[in-house]
Amino acid sequence: MFNFTNQLDAILLLSGYCITKYRIKIYITIMKYRTFANKEQLSAIGLGCMSMSHAYGVPDDPESIETLHLALDLGINFWDTADVYGNGKNEELISNVLRTNRDKIFIATKFGFRATADGKLSTFDGSPAYVKLAVEASLKRLKIDTIDYTMPTVSTQMSRLKKWLVRWLNW
């Protein structure tokens, strides 16, 4: 249906821009926001940053930085990453835009997987000692003092969550 040449094309299209071979038509859109935890105003569209440095081909840092700036310009203030994306490289990449725009971005990061030196995921570790190490390492890579939201990597905990949430999610 759509043939995106890069991440920027995809975010432009989703944000109301029409991309043609020779020009970009701009449509005015208004970002909607939702209240989180009774105080934070988060964009209804979040930016998942995994593909910028993990899993989908060769990372393109300049394009990813451009995408982060565009997302911010479009009012997308909820960004999601994880410590294992690119074996920490994703958080380092995001920090290039995050640290100078900290008051504009709500950052969520996940933890729990242990990775080998070559970046392959090995085991899940939800112990308090590892959680502390993971959060401290994420803070260092993100170059910030506090993380807005963190949680265990959900896919690793699905069986536990399923047991806890079965009444509410009707699984």
Residues identified as active-site: 85
**DSSP at 87:** G
Residue 44 backbone phi and psi in degrees, to 5: -65, -25
What's the CA gap between 53 and 40, in Å, rounded?
28
Residue 167 Cα distances to 115, 153, 155, 161, 171, angstroms: 34, 22, 19, 11, 8
Which residues have CB under 8 Å from 66's CB, separation 6+? Answer: 8
